[in-house]
Amino acid sequence: MNTINANTKIAAIIKQHPDAIEAIISISPRFEKLRNPLLRKLMAGRTSVAMASKVGGCSVNDFFDKLRPLGFDIDSNILPVVEEQAVVPDFIHSIRLEQLVELDVRPVIAAGKDPLNLILEKAKRIEVGQILKIVNTFAPVPLIPLLEKKGFISYIDKVEDHLVETYFFKNAGAIGEDVLPEPKEDLNQDWDEVWERYKDKLITIDVRALEMPQPMITILDSLGQLANGDALFVYHKRIPVHLLPELSERGFDYRIKEINDGEVHLLIFKL
């Protein structure tokens, strides 16, 4: 059996010896949640012995004393590493399997498609008290503010490299109407006029080859560096409908020119 120390994750201990669950629970009633498979999966993988001892109001040696009889070799000379933990919202601590609605968007992304519309449609059908769980290879950065503005509470769990599970809890204050407005129909009527105004003051970026969610992130980052009086010219594959409300909220106006099915030009400037 592998040697464990203060920095060994609880999940690694349980994986080596399933009886470790009951041994740990016997240390403190605060560890009762380990009996819940869902909570165990969420919390044990990111919690070390040292971190768990703080939660349980006990010492690292209390863990060692309970685990040694199971055959674990103990290295008590390694000092705990101080780790910064993200704040875990209350809904994660009391999550139940029947609350979960899971959506794995990895096949959608592998097919070269944008999963945001699919996720937002699923989010519309989430009832108060339910939790939408998105399985992906990365955190859905553009989606988080969209749903948080609708009253959802989010939590990101990086399970391992290339596997991220994001949880969206719909509480009683969540707003139910559509998340996205329809793009305006006259977005290119005065394109030439606006182009003439900014053609010598353009910052140009091309996001067509970027994987989701990098196009939106790149555009917003570029706008943050835009000098007063300049405009951002963007080569895109599609109209970024999820970006448009964010632009308006940040005080930007925009024009859109559809060149063909796979190419769209955007001109973004400060109001």
Predicted pLDDT at 82: 58
DSSP labels, the chain:
--EE-TT-BHHHHHHH-TTHHHHHHTT-GGGGGGGSHHHHHHHHTT-BHHHHHHHHT--HHHHHHHHGGGT-EE-TTSPPPP-PPPPPPHHHHT--GGGEEEEE-HHHHHTT---HHHHHHHHHTPPTT-EEEEEESS--TTHHHHHHTTTEEEEEEEEETTEEEEEEEE-TT---S-SSPPPPTTTTTTHHHHHHHHTTSEEEEE-TTPPTTHHHHHHHHHHHTPPTT-EEEEEESS--TTTHHHHHHTTEEEEEEEEETTEEEEEEEE-
Q: How many CB atoms lie within 10 A of CB 149?
A: 13
Q: Give the tens place of pLDDT for each residue, 43-58.
A: 777 788 988 888 788 9
Rounded to whole angstroms, the maximal C-alpha distance in the chain is: 79
> Is it the case that residue 1 has pLDDT exceeding 90?
no
Predicted pLDDT at 84: 53
> Is it the case that residue 61 has pLDDT exceeding 90?
yes
Predicted pLDDT at 90: 85
In the chain, the amino acid numbered 78 is I
Q: How far is CA 212 from CA 112, 113, 216, in A?
A: 9, 9, 8
Q: How far is CA 27 from CA 43, 46, 94, 217, 240, in A?
A: 17, 19, 21, 45, 52
Predicted pLDDT at 79: 80
Q: Give the tens place of pLDDT for each residue, 11-51.
A: 889 989 999 999 999 999 888 878 888 767 767 777 889 88
Q: Give the tens place of pLDDT for each residue, 123-134.
A: 989 998 999 999
As a whole number, mean pLDDT of residues 117-146 equals: 86
Determine the Cα–Cα distance for residues 172 and 213; give it in Å rounded to an integer: 29
Predicted pLDDT at 179: 44
As a whole number, mean pLDDT of residues 223-236 equals: 91
> Is it the case that residue 69 has pLDDT exceeding 90?
yes
Determine the Cα–Cα distance for residues 134 and 127; give it in Å rounded to an integer: 16
Determine the Cα–Cα distance for residues 138 and 54; give it in Å rounded to an integer: 30
| Bond before 213 cis per omega within 30 degrees | yes
Determine the Cα–Cα distance for residues 138 and 158; give it in Å rounded to an integer: 8
Predicted pLDDT at 180: 47
> Is it the case that residue 83 has pLDDT exceeding 60?
no
Predicted pLDDT at 148: 84
Determine the Cα–Cα distance for residues 143 and 139; give it in Å rounded to an integer: 9
Q: Give the tens place of pLDDT for each residue, 172-207.
A: 765 554 444 455 555 667 899 999 999 999 999 999
Determine the Cα–Cα distance for residues 132 and 104; give it in Å rounded to an integer: 11
Q: Could you give all domains of the chain from N- to C-terminal order, each with its CATH number?
A: 3-84 (1.10.3910.10), 92-170 (3.30.110), 191-270 (3.30.110.40)
Residue that the structure tokens 């097919």 belong to: 111
Predicted pLDDT at 186: 59
Averaged pLDDT score across all residues of the chain: 84
pTM: 0.51
